[in-house]
Structure 1
Amino acid sequence: MSDAELKDAVAAVLPRTIEDLKALVAIESISASAAHDRQVRASADAVVALLAEIGCPDVRIVSEGGKPAVIGHFPAPEGAPTVCLYAHHDVQPTGDEALWTSPPFAATERDGRLYGRGAADDKGGIAAHLAALRAFEGKPPVGVTLFIEGEEEIGSPSLRTILQQHSDALRADVYVIADSGNWAVGRPAFTTTLRGMADCVVEVATLDHALHSGVFGGVVPDAVTALCRLLATLHDDAGNVAIAGLREAPPTDLPDAGDQIRAEAGLLDGVQQLGDGNVFDRMWNKPSVSVLGIDAPSVRDAANALLPVARAKVGLRVAPGDDAHQALAALRAHLEQHAPWGARVRVTDGEVGQPGVVPFEGPVCELAAEAMASAYGVEPVFMGIGGSIPMIADFQEVFPDAVVLVTAVGDPDSRQHGVDESLHLGDFARAATAEALLLAKLGDAASRASE
Structure 2
Amino acid sequence: MTAHPIEETVAALLPRAKAELTELVAFRSVADPAQFPPSECEAAAAWVADALRAEDFQDVAVLDTPDGSQSVYGFLPGPAGAPTVLLYAHYDVQPPLDLAGWETPPFELTERDGRWYGRGTADCKGGFIMHLLALRALRANGGVPVGVKVIVEGSEEQGTGGLERYAEAHPELLAADAIVIGDTGNFRAGLPTVTATLRGMTMLRVQVDTLAGNLHSGQFGGAAPDALAALIRLLDSLRAEDGSTTVDGLAADADWRGLEYPEEEFRNDARVLDGVELIGHGSVADRLWARPAVTVVGIDCPPVVGATPSVQATARAQISLRVPPGQDAAEATKLLTAHLQAHTPWGARVSVEQVGQGQPFQADVTSPAYTSMAQAMRVAYPGEEMQASGMGGSIPLCSTLRELYPEAEILLIGLSDPDARIHAVNESVSPLELERMSVAEAHFLVNYARSRKDAGERSAR
TM-score norm. by structure 1 comes to: 0.95
SS in structure 2 of the partner of residue 387 of structure 1:
coil
Structure 2 matches for 1:19-168, cutoff 5 A? Answer: 19-33=19-33, 35-65=36-66, 66-137=68-139, 139-168=143-172
What amino acid is aligned across from residue 417 of structure 1 in structure 2? H
Q: CA deviation at 1:7?
A: 1.7
- Cα deviation, 1:357-389, whole Å, max 9, x if unaligned, reads 111122221011111122122112111111111
TM score, norm. by length of structure 2: 0.93
List aligned pairs for 1:195-210, cutoff 5 A.
Answer: 195-210=199-214
In the TM superposition, what whole-angstrom CA distance separates every residue of 1:372-418 from its partner, at most 9, and x where no partner exists? Answer: 12212211211111111111001101111110001111201101111
The CA deviation at 1:443 is 2.7
Tell me the distance in 2 between the aligned counterparts of 1:4 and 1:349. 51
Amino acid at match of 1:107: L
For 1:165 and 1:307, locate their aligned partners in 2 and report how far apart those are by CA, in whole Å: 45
Specify the code of the residue in structure 2 equivalent to 1:371. Answer: A
CA contact (8 A) 2:207 2:352 kept: yes
Task: Please say if residues 3 and 437 of structure 1, whose CA atoms lie closer than 8 Å, have aligned partners that are also in contact.
Answer: no
Structure 1, 344-353 or 308-317: larger mean CA deviation: 344-353
Show the 5 A alignment for 1:315-394: 315-377=320-382, 378-394=384-400
What is the letter of the counterpart of residue 436 of structure 2? R
Query: C-alpha offsets along residues 298-327 of structure 1, whole Å, 9 cap, x if unaligned?
Result: 112211121121111111111211111111
Task: Tell me the amino acid that sits aligned with residue 149 of structure 2.
Answer: T
The corresponding residue for 1:294 is 299
1:175 equivalenced with 2:165 (yes/no): no
Identity level (%): 43
SS at match of 2:418: coil
Q: Is the 8 A contact 1:247 1:319 kept in 2?
A: no
Bigger drift between 241-250 and 219-228 goes to 241-250
Q: Which residue of structure 2 lines up, in the alignment, with residue 18 of structure 1?
A: 18
1:375 and 1:259 mapped to 2: Cα distance? Answer: 28
Distance 2:409 2:352 in 1: 39
Superposed CA deviations along residues 214-269 of structure 1, whole A, max 9, x for unmatched, are: 22222333111121111111111111112122134443244451111111111112
Specify the alignment match of 2:5 in structure 1. Answer: 5
SS at the partner of 1:170? coil
Superposed CA offset, 1:91-122 (max 9, x none): 11111222111111110111111100110010
Say which is worse superposed, 207-216 or 21-30, in terms of deviation.
Answer: 207-216
**Where do 5+ consecutive residues of structure 1 fail to align?**
none
**2:441 is matched by which residue type in structure 1?**
E
The residue identity in structure 2 corresponding to 1:430 is R
Q: Is the 8 A contact 2:196 2:364 kept in 1?
A: yes
How far apart, CA to CA, are the structure 2 residues paired with 1:210 and 1:162? 44
Q: 1:51 to 1:130 in 2, by over 3 A?
A: same
RMSD: 1.8
Q: Distance in 1 between matches of 2:48 and 2:42?
A: 10
**Contact 2:82–2:147 at 8 Å: present in 1 too?**
yes
User: Which residue type is aligned with residue 40 of structure 2?
Assistant: Q
Of the structure 1 ranges 276-285 and 26-35, higher mean CA displacement relative to structure 2 is found in 26-35
Distance 1:213 1:14, change over 3 A: same
Please give the secondary structure, in 1, of the residue aligned with 2:87.
strand
Equivalent of 1:222 in 207, 226, 237? 226
Give per-residue Cα distances to partners, 1:67-91, cap 9 Å, x unaligned: 1211111112112111111101111
Counterpart of 1:306, as a letter, is: V
Which secondary structure does the structure 1 equivalent of 2:128 belong to? helix
Distance (whole Å) between structure 2 residues aligned to residue 161 and residue 333 of structure 1:
27
Match of 1:236 in 2: 240
What is the CA–CA distance in structure 2 between the aligned matches of 1:150 and 1:39, rounded to whole Å? 11
Match of 1:268 among 267, 273, 277: 273
Cα distance in 2 between the residues matched to 1:33 and 1:431: 33
Offset at residue 125 of structure 1 (A): 0.4
* Cα distance change on mapping 1:266 and 1:389 into 2, 3 Å: same
Tell me if the contact between 2:160 and 2:356 (Cα under 8 Å) persists in the aligned partners: no
Q: Is the 8 A contact 1:54 1:137 kept in 2?
A: no
Residues 305-320 of structure 1 mapped to structure 2, 5 A cutoff = 305-320=310-325
Given that 1:26 and 1:106 are in contact with CA atoms closer than 8 Å, whether structure 2 keeps it comes out as: yes
Instruction: Name the counterpart of 1:444.
Output: 450
Per-residue deviation, residues 150-185 of structure 1 (Å, max 9, x unmatched): 111111522123223443332110000000121001
Contact 2:372–2:444 (8 Å) recurs in 1? yes
CA distance change for structure 1 residues 161 and 232 in 2, over 3 Å: closer, same or farther?
closer
SS state at 1:197 partner: strand
Question: 1:22–1:107: 8 Å Cα contact kept in structure 2?
Answer: yes
Flag the 1:397–1:226 CA change in 2: closer, same or farther, 3 A.
same
Q: Distance in 2 between matches of 1:299 and 1:150?
A: 35
Where 1:153 maps in the other structure, the secondary structure is coil
CA deviation after TM superposition for structure 1 residue 450, in Å: 6.0
Listed one character per residue, the Cα deviations across residues 21-52 of structure 1 (whole Å, up to 9, x for unaligned) are 11111111111236431121111111122122
